[in-house]
Chain A
């Protein structure tokens, strides 16, 4: 009695399914081509991560700015998470006022370089008053002063093949990476100053990465080495940083 209806239903369901499946296939190819697949795309949570990363990359233009605040909104308490590196090398740097500290930049660049703190300060300085928001739930607003990473990218002549910037803390343990849209982003800083002064030891002296459009854990402290690569496959466990192994997504835009 309802056969015409169910046939129509069958055809529309079939067409919708076919469209859905081929749509997913096309989406996967396009996502790969336009760099919308994060290094931690595998495993049971990979689909969610890929949707979040691709969705936010498509939504945010390369230059959409994280919210900035007035000087009066700077937090009186800038919460400190974790301890400075306990190794001897770092203690010597602190004692010597970071005079011997160097930031080495290598990988897919035309001019591998090494910068002293004074070298970095010779680049035009920029500042931003933005959030530092931890995935735990707490946050503060501070002024960050430093050199935009894009300035250094131009200086060392980063290759068009580079897809990721990998940055290492001199604690010998912590490191992370970001994609090129965030590397070129005007609010991504090598920050050496905070709230009008030098960057305090507790907040990552002499230099921390500041990635304003991502959560706090991407803003690694105590940076001493930056490298450019076209693939994260052979770096660490291939997930883009040590964070995913502990359960934290490589992309922390939310």
Chain B
């Protein structure tokens, strides 16, 4: 492969840039733990959903009452996947929430969000956004310089995932708990009922899975090996972007 040809001259030239990691150790560790827990949550969530693939609005819903959406899946009740799925769902939910909290708290503490994710006023301009969208439409790979930072679409997407979708999926999950809502009833009434919370929980999960697919597609387009290296070792590859 082209990038495995190590060029000492280039490495020395770039050493200053290479010394400061593309992703901090904490971001990298929480990223991969989060990845594992998210995959476990999706798989176990599917196992739970298949017991009753109908969605409702309001407080209650069951077979024999009108549904909001009948998902095109069979009712899987005999296959023993739901029980273990539930155990796995709540275990991985704890991992998801605790690593998420660690990431957010450290991100606030180190000003990671402010420095790396909140877009500048210029970036939020129509021209800048149009350029980034056009680059995406033409599947243009970012220049090496560009790949050391996030573009405005990435920034807005990551912020939405961290500060909108993730809290929403956690709260709608807790809203289905009769014990938690005995203390904080507002977390379920705000969504219009327990079944509404379940429905929103489903759609937020779908949005997060879509994010995951787009995220992986973008990583592939931007240079899979280099981006994976950056998220594992912290550093971009020495030398040129892989061709």
Are A77 and B62 in touch, CB under 8 angstroms? Answer: yes
Assess A140 versus B62: contact at CB under 8 Å? Given A61-B183, A246-B83, A249-B86: yes
Q: What's the nearest-Cβ distance from chain B to residue A83, in Å?
A: 14
- What count of chain A residues pass the 8 Å CB interface test? 42
Chain A residue at minimal CB-CB distance from B83? A247
Q: Which residues of A contact B194 (CB under 8 A)?
A: 131, 133, 139
A253 within 8 A of B: yes
- What count of chain B residues pass the 8 Å CB interface test? 41
Are B90 and A59 in touch, CB under 8 angstroms? Answer: no
Are A48 and B185 in touch, CB under 8 angstroms? Answer: no
Are B54 and A137 in touch, CB under 8 angstroms? Answer: yes
A-B contact pairs, 17 of them (CB 8 A): A48-B90, A48-B92, A52-B94, A75-B62, A79-B63, A79-B64, A135-B86, A137-B48, A137-B49, A137-B52, A139-B60, A139-B61, A139-B195, A212-B178, A253-B179, A254-B174, A254-B176
Q: A interface vs B, CB < 8 Å?
A: 44-45, 47-49, 51-52, 56, 59-61, 64-67, 69, 73, 75-77, 79, 131, 133-141, 212-215, 243, 246-249, 253-254
Are B52 and A49 in touch, CB under 8 angstroms? Answer: no
Q: How far is the CA of A215 from the CA of B194 in the complex (A)?
A: 12
Are A60 and B86 in touch, CB under 8 angstroms? Answer: no
Q: Which residues of B contact A45 (CB under 8 A)?
A: 84, 87-88, 90-91
Q: Which residues of A contact B86 (CB under 8 A)?
A: 135, 247-249
Q: Which residues of A contact B93 (CB under 8 A)?
A: 48
B110 within 8 A of A: no
Q: Which residues of A contact B173 (CB under 8 A)?
A: 254
